[in-house]
Every structure is written in C-alpha cells, then in structure tokens.
A and B are shown apart, each in its own frame.
Chain A
C-alpha cells in the first residue's frame, strides 16, 4: 500500500535562522498512529507544518528534499488543496477557535471547501454528536473549559474527514479529567483507521496506544520504533524526567507559621469560588495544591499575595494582613510565578528583566542575583531578548525575576505545564535548594510526579474547598477518588 506521507532527505530552515530539521527520512503508512517527542525547539512542530504544506507555502524559508502527502509533492500543492486531507490542530486553541461560536468554527473548513449549507449542517451536527459537544455548538469559545476547547478544536478539522490528523500538544494544560476525555476521543479516531500524529511533551497519556514512536533531537530523528522500546531513549534525553528520591524536609524549628489563611471565602460575580479555606505555611515547608481545573486553586494563590481580596476571612503574613502591605512589600513577602512567562516580559534583555522588580524597590542584591543565574543556568542568556528564548528558558527567566525579590513564600502556578523533562529536573532541584534555604514553596500542579518529588504535603481542593491536607501517599488516594467521579462519558 502506498505511504500516506513520505519525507526524503528533508532539511529545513526558517528565513534567517539555522537549520531546524536535518536530513529527515520518514514514511508513514495509512492507518498508523504516531507519537512524536522531542525537547522544546527540537523541530517537532516544524515537522507537523511540513505535512500540510504550511512549509514552504506559509512560512517560506529554505526547504530541501521532498515531502509527498497522499501522492502529491507539497512543494507544488497549496495548503488550500491539502487541508481537507491533512487536518492540523494547533496547541493554541484560542487561535484555532477564531469564530464567534463553536458551530461557526466547526463549519468554517466546510465553507472554505464550498459545501452546500445543508451538507455543512449535517456534518457539523454529526461530528458534534460523535465528540459529545452538541451542547457547546452555540457557545462562544471564550466560555469553554480547556478540555471543551480541545474537543471543539478537534471537531473543526475532523468534520473535513481528513486522512491524517495532526495534533500539536493536545494534552497541554488539561487536568486528569480533560486528558481522559481527549484521550478517549483519540482512541475512537484511531479505531476508525485514521492516521494520527501526536506531538507531545507528556509521555503518559497516549504513549502506550500509539503504533509508533519518533523522537527528534536537535532536528534529526534519533529513534523511530515501537513505544515500548523508546523509554530508554526518552530517559537518556531527559524527555522523561529522572527525579531524585525525595527526602522529607525539616519544618522550621519553631514550627511558626509564616502565612496563615483563615476562614477565607471568595465570591466573584455572584458565584462562590472559594468557601471556608483555612491553612498555614511554615518556613521551608514545601506544599502542593492539587485538584481538577476550576476548583479554585489559582484563585486561592491570588489571595496569598493580596491580588484578590477575600469576601470573608483573612490572609496574614507574619501576623499582618497581606492586603495592608504595599504591592512591592507583598512581592517580597509572597512571590507568585504564574503559568505564562510571556505575561511578564517587557525589558530588552534578560538581565534587565530579572532586575526590574529590585530596581523598583531601590535595592539590588548582586550576590543573590549571581546565585540565581547560576542555579537556573541563565548566565549565557543575560544579554538576549526574553522574547527570543525557548519556552523552558522563558520559564526560568520568569522564575528568576520572582526569586530575585527574595520572597519568603514562593508560589509556582503549574510550573511544569508544556515543559520537557530536563526543565522539570532543573525545577525540582531548584525547589529543593530554595526550600533548604528556608523559603516556603507552594506548587499548584496537575503533575503528581513532580509534586511527589518536590513537596511533603498535599492540599487537595474540590469545588472551592480544601477536602484533605496531608502526606502525598494519603492524599493521592483522595485525589483519585475525585477523578473517578468525573461524569463525562464520550458517546
């Protein structure tokens, strides 16, 4: 049977950049599901753009070798001719869902192909029923959860009935429930005999079910075979993190609490987001806050540094209400590193970016700055623009900009989301170092392996409340019991 995709000695460089793909030879037969792994910047997403003609027609650059999709060389075939056969689901669902409603988005590709209205409506409703999103058709994408957005994004290309479906990090940002839902849908698609190409950092969700695993390292394929045989390579390349054994940290000698949350409730636009939250943190303590998306974890940590005011209750830092402190004093008390490092960058180079906070305080501790740069391996990046860094590098810079303020409590919001194994190892090591120095560390995360490595205490949240607070082993069972109660079932 003829291959669906053939790449012969393909190399590619973006305009004005170094080669990102080097001498790729690849053949994908019909009906195969392939998982593609690689570090950030290794060329995974670039490979995906070769399959539907975006390279070379949209991105330009220099393409060498030949790419043949369904018998047509992509060099001579426009994207408008290929998109009905090769569907690409981007990682950025906000960009993928660019219409006012989900129904408009699902119909968009069919309208581009000139289908009559009656056929468009039929296909739209059929694919929505298949994916279990009929109830979302009239909603704006802005109102959807992460998992719902991902399913809607899949629907936008699946309705075209493509032979090949490419998904760029389909599990990014999803909690356990969302991951399970998307994975079940992908299994369904796989059973239909459609080709799937999954590009991911997270190895667990679909790894065992893929027919084939490809690992890309520095633009070249370094492994191409069965998933069961790939674990060693994934570990060697640090795509799967090698975490050290966790040794329990000492709490501060006095056991004194540095941050106390007492009877906190938060109501926003008539909805109860948090109810009766009470917890305390001591010096050097490392705590994970875990729970499904939408339970209020990020809302809770925004109270820690006074970004939000409680409806009732109080958050105090060393006995003083956190909201009574000036914003710069709050940053020194409780540093919060949010999920998207791009929300912070506004300086021309990394050095200025990291020092932006201390400069406003009027005091820079150069020794501490140097120590942070060494711990986070930022020395070589100091003169570079933060916008031109890889996602892992950006995350380290964002973290450094918080650490340089010497907060006594450090809060990390989903620090491992979208990151490769190497970054997770660096971050785990850094959390241990900071905790040893007496800083309380709070990690909000879905990554339970990371939480187990870096923390001694888990706070489990559900429906805006703390339902359990204890050691990881005991809390893991509690957490799993909430996951099994998830009510979504694909049709």
Chain B
C-alpha cells in the first residue's frame, strides 16, 4: 500500500467502507472481519498493546448486547460485526494514509483547500486537545475538585468542560491569526506535493470499484 498514489489508497478505503455497508449476509461479514483482523495484526503498534482491545471491544460489545436485547441473536451478530468491520477499516485507513497524503489526495480530487484544511487541522489538534484535557484534570484535582470517572463526579464536569471549551476558542483565535499571517486564503495556491497515477494505480482503483459493484450485486441476489 505504501507505494500507491494517495488517491488510490483513498479510493480503496472508501470502497472498503462501502463494501461493509452493502453487506448483509453474515458469512460475507465474517469473511470481511477475518480479512480485516489480519490487516490489523499486520499493522498494529506493539508499543501500545491492548490499546485496540480497549478501543474496539466496549463499543462492539455494547452494540451486540443492544441488538440481542431488542432484536435477536442473528441481528446482534450482524450489527456487531458490521461495526467491528467499520472500526477496523478506519484503523487501516489511519495506519496506511498519512494526514498530509489524505489532504493531498483530496486536493487532487478537486476538494477546495479550505475544506481539506479543516480535516488536516482537526487531525493535527486532536492530540493537543487530549493533552489539554489531561492538564485540566490534573489542575482541578490539585484543588480538590474530583474529576475521576465516577457517577458522583458528574456535577463536577463543568470544571473540565468550561476551561477546555474556552481554551479551544482561544486556540482557534491564535490559529486564525497564524493562518492569516502566512497567507491562508491567497488565490492560486500551489502545492509541494506532486502525485502521478501509474498503471498499477488505475488497476487497483478499477478493481476496488469493480469489486464493490460485484459485491453489491451479489448481496442483492
């Protein structure tokens, strides 16, 4: 995957999402799950063992239990495996496409730069907001305001949300200043990235789209 044009990777991953969404047969979902599990095992980050388990299992388990309670076992399995497959495709997406590749691919596909920037800035600042949350929790705990995840601490969460929202607004102000100071919004903007679609890229794009159409027809049958 590493050597493909980012547009090819993006197309492949979008068709993978489409494939999960059009699938209804349990056996097809199971095959998808196995393939995606294999991809996860190949791509996962060993420095953070258990991270994926903590991320995937609770949500999948919740959906399964909800399906079991309100519908039946078959529906619960189908919903849970579809969710797992979507999460797995997202994981593969973020592992195989860098944010700047994603931005470049979207720009090349004709998406306006201002919209592409929203995506890349969002990805840039998610870890920063995570860091800010940690800092706020520490600062408030140091004053005796308990923000541990307990039911009884729910009324205290204004002490987390208020400074977080305010700092997010302040950051957005500074960000706007920085962007304006470096010519964001200038017309005729160029790009340092140059991408070229090779024959292998066209083959993979064609195969992805063709595969999706075939699967949709198969599932209809």
Contacts and interface: CB of A to CB of B under 8 A. Distances in A.
Interface of A: 52, 54, 58, 79-80, 83-84, 87-88, 90, 92, 94-96, 98-101, 103-104, 107-117, 120-121, 124, 140-142, 156-157, 269-270, 302, 305, 307, 326-328, 330-332, 335-338, 340, 342-346, 356-357, 360-361, 387, 401-402, 405
A120 B99 CA distance: 19
Nearest to A83: B183
A327 B174 contact: no
Interface in B117-151: 120-121, 123-125, 127-128, 131-132, 135-136, 138-146, 148
A98 B173 CA distance: 12
Contacts of B181: 52, 54, 79, 83, 87-88, 90, 157
Contacts of B136: 343-344
Interface string B150-164: 000000001101110
Interface string B92-132: 00000011100100000000000000001101110110011
A80 B159 CA distance: 40
Nearest to B183: A112
A156 B190 contact: no
A107 B179 CA distance: 13
B166 A332 contact: no
Most buried by A among B148, B161, B163, B185: B163
Contact of B143 (A110, A302, A401): A401
A364 to B, nearest CB: 13
B190 to A, nearest CB: 5
B175 interface: yes
B105 to A, nearest CB: 13
A104 B183 CA distance: 14
Interface in B152-196: 158-159, 161-163, 166-167, 170-171, 174-186, 188-194
B138 A94 contact: no
B53 interface: no
Contact of B98 (A100, A327, A357): A100
Nearest to B179: A98
Range class of the B interface residue count: 35 or more
Contact of A100 (B124, B158, B175, B182): B124
Nearest to A84: B183
B178 A331 contact: no
Given A80-B183, A101-B98, A112-B182, 16 more contacts: A58-B180, A92-B171, A99-B100, A100-B98, A100-B124, A111-B189, A111-B192, A112-B189, A114-B186, A120-B192, A124-B192, A269-B47, A344-B139, A346-B162, A360-B146, A401-B143
B48 interface: yes
Main secondary structure of the interface of A (DSSP, over half): helix
A356 B98 contact: no
Q: Kindly list the 4 A-B residue pairs having the minimum CB-CB distance in the complex, ordered from nearest.
A: A112-B183, A331-B144, A95-B174, A346-B162
Contacts of A328: 144, 146
Contacts of B131: 142
Contacts of A90: 174, 177-178, 181
A345 B163 contact: yes
Most buried by B among A103, A343, A345: A343
A330 B144 contact: yes
B124 A98 contact: yes
Contacts of A330: 141, 144
A117 B193 contact: yes
Contact of B163 (A270, A346, A360): A346
Contacts of A269: 47-48
A361 B142 contact: no
A116 B189 CA distance: 10
Contacts of B190: 110-111, 113-117, 120
Nearest to B123: A100
A157 B143 CA distance: 41
Contacts of A98: 121, 124-125, 175, 178-179
30 contacts: A52-B181, A54-B177, A58-B177, A58-B180, A88-B181, A90-B181, A98-B125, A103-B192, A104-B192, A112-B186, A121-B192, A142-B128, A157-B182, A305-B141, A307-B138, A327-B141, A327-B148, A330-B144, A331-B142, A331-B143, A335-B142, A335-B143, A338-B142, A340-B135, A343-B139, A346-B162, A356-B143, A360-B145, A361-B144, A405-B143
